[in-house]
Amino acid sequence: MASDYERLFERFEVKDPPVGLLDKISLSISKETAGRALWARTVISGVLSLAALAALVPSWLITQSEIYQSGFSQFLSLLLSDTNTVMAFWKEFSLSLLESFPVAGTIAVLGSVLILLISMRFFVRDINRIIHQPKLSRI
């Protein structure tokens, strides 16, 4: 019975694969990997943009409440309403203004804005790549 199988496969010719087949397969795999990585980056930057936008609202509200609690808004009001007094006592006024400045809230707002801008930059860049490369939109 083993001889029947051997004779069956002896009639078939063993063909070599076409030249460049390995390169085509490797290129196709690398394109597929790059497309999936692009989609992953797009999703991550989009989610990060939404998170930064969501963090911006509470950080702004916290900064706003710190401005009113520390008296910073009253010092600014004094600066705009009575400039003669401010100029007469400019050293003391500037120190009072610096002491009442809400540093933590300002850092939170600026950090949220920075993260939002950077993540939106990457999100828009990746969306443009997806739109302008129609083969990637099928993945």
- pLDDT at residue 139 is higher than 60: no
pLDDT digits (tens, 9 = 90+) for 37-75: 999 999 999 999 999 999 999 999 999 999 999 999 999
Q: What angle do CA 37, 41, 42 make, to 5 degrees?
A: 115
Domain-by-domain residue ranges, the chain? 45-139
User: Is the C-alpha dihedral spanning 87, 73, 80, 103 positive or negative?
Assistant: positive
Q: How far apart are CA 95 and CA 86, in angstroms?
A: 12
CB–CB of 106/70 below 8 Å?
Answer: no
